[in-house]
Amino acid sequence: MKNIILTVFSFLYLSSFCHAQEGYQNPVIPGFHPDPSVCRVGDDYYLVNSTFEYFPGVPLFHSKDLIHWQQLGNVLTRPSQLNLQKAGSSGGIYAPTIRYHEGTFYMITTNVTDKGNFLVHTKDPAGEWSDPVWIKQGGIDPSIYFEGGKCYLVSNPDNTIMLCEINPMTGEQLSSSKAIWRGTGGRYPEGPHLYKKDGWYYLLISEGGTEYGHKVTIARSRNMEGPYDSNPANPILTHINMEAQLNPIQGTGHADLVEAADGSWWMVCLAFRPQSGLHHLLGRETYLAPVRWDTNAWPVVNGNGTISLDMRVPTLPQHPFPEKPARDEFNAGKASPEWIHLRNPHMENYQFTKDGKLRLLATGVKLDDSGSPTFIGRRQEHLRFTATTSVKLQKAAPNDEAGLTVWMNNQAHYDLYIKQLDQDKQAVVLRYRMGLLTHIAKEVIVPASNIQLQVKGENDTYSFAYSLNGTTFQSIGQMDTRYLSTETAGGFTGIILGLYATSQTPATRAYADFDWFEYLSR
């Protein structure tokens, strides 16, 4: 009898995860994860984002329910795939598209500081992807569509959505480019995706610029080459209108559609969360919305063309992943996939020691430079968080430094670091860089030992502290969040919490050992 009861209980428990549930929280992928694109393979969903000047490029996520996502790795992991040597702030990789066709995954994107549009492919999305094949048709935000054994490309040269046929394995353009739609009149028509449903070809794009006026529009035609008729109810997603002016989500746009295994339709899109007034720092994040798409009708996003943080809607059966530990102990012998570098890193400067430390070898490239400093970081994902690390600076000459940076770009960052003063003395220093202004806010002499550095993020401030024992933290100052915001610093990225090491005299080969890094949302 006990076995029967146990079996029934187990069945009911497991079944609770295998039926449609109500509701989820947006964003589904928080922090700097813009320009989402999604595809389905059976009951599995795969999603990619743009990464601009960061390496490796294009994070790859996997989900069973479109709500819970786990990063499998990154698509562009080799310098032969991703040349960022000349990438300035917000240069590099723009919006990617991921698609699956007959056993092969394809990812197409733009490197705006290299040769433009290119495509890579793989049989195993969690493994290695091919080297790029380059695409002749220009513009940005390319997307591909398969039909009848052919592959078609759409992108936006000259602010016009253009269509052509390509060979996805070689990149060769097989037909002339044809203009098919210019959008509804909003600026920057971009992010095109082509779909077919109920005998109609639907062309989804974004307009208005990736700011507060961002919006998603759609057109359709019975012929792939057009003419395309605009949806009378455009835009189908925007927060520019009055009903969303106080919504904590703004800048909705750049979307992709996917049909789930149960026949329901969903949209992923980017948006941002303003803080401290009309400023946003986390970058553009990935959001999810249900789509009602009746036969022979236009799609309707979440009933009224807006989204919310708390989405009270029926969902797919939910399959959450185990939570990742808050603390990275650096004992895996390699960086986990969420860690990224600035431009093409010099990997010889990043080591994992046998006793479980991340060792950063200091170089002469400074945080303010446009090269690739010894820098490894992860995204700020929450408005309220605490990030802490333990670091020891060794073999350092005067003015060598290593520590923690709250990083937007090379002209906008707050740094909490250990600085070598002379052979026997070190100091904890708080510094800010805002445009042409650099200022040392405070400097405290400390013993040359392991020092814990901490930053706490709030809506309006970053608070910095240090500890000599890992328990008792001493405040060293606060900084205003607004000066690192996109509205102040510019660009298309978001805050990265970085670990770094630089040297005034690189020949000394100073280095910093980081014992761990901990990130906690609050």
In order of 10, 487, 496, the CA distances from 278 in angstroms are 49, 8, 20
Chain-centroid distance of CA 301 in Å reads 23
- HEC string for 378-430: EECCCCCEEEEEEEEEECCCCCCEEEEEEEEECCEEEEEEEEECCCCCEEEEE
**Burial of 339 by CB count in 10 Å (0-12 exposed, 13-18 middle, 19+ buried)?**
buried
Rounded to whole angstroms, the Cα distance separating 265 from 259 reads 4
Q: How many CA atoms lie within 13 A of 329 on its CB side?
A: 7
Backbone angles phi, psi at 158, to 5 degrees: 60, 35
Rounded to whole angstroms, the Cα distance separating 289 from 37 reads 13
- HEC string for 333-387: CCCCCCCEEECCCCHHHEEECCCCCEEEECECCCCCCCCCCEEEEEECCCCCEEE
CA nearest 196: which of 145, 152, 236, 240?
145
Burial 197-230 (b: 16+ CB within 10 A, else e): beebbbbbbbbbebbbbbbbbbbbbeebebebeb
Q: Catalytic positions, please?
A: 35, 190
Burial 235-269 (b: 16+ CB within 10 A, else e): bbbbbbeeebeebebbbbbbbbbbebeeebbbbbb
Chain-centroid distance of CA 57 in Å reads 10
Place of tokens 């792939």: 224
Rounded to whole angstroms, the Cα distance separating 330 from 381 reads 20
The DSSP letter of residue 497 is: E
Q: Which two tokens stand for residue 410?
A: 């090379």
User: Could you tell me the strand order of the sheet in which 300-301 lies?
Assistant: 250-259, 265-272, 285-292, 300-301
CB 350 within 8 A of CB 376: yes
Rounded to whole angstroms, the Cα distance separating 112 from 116 reads 5
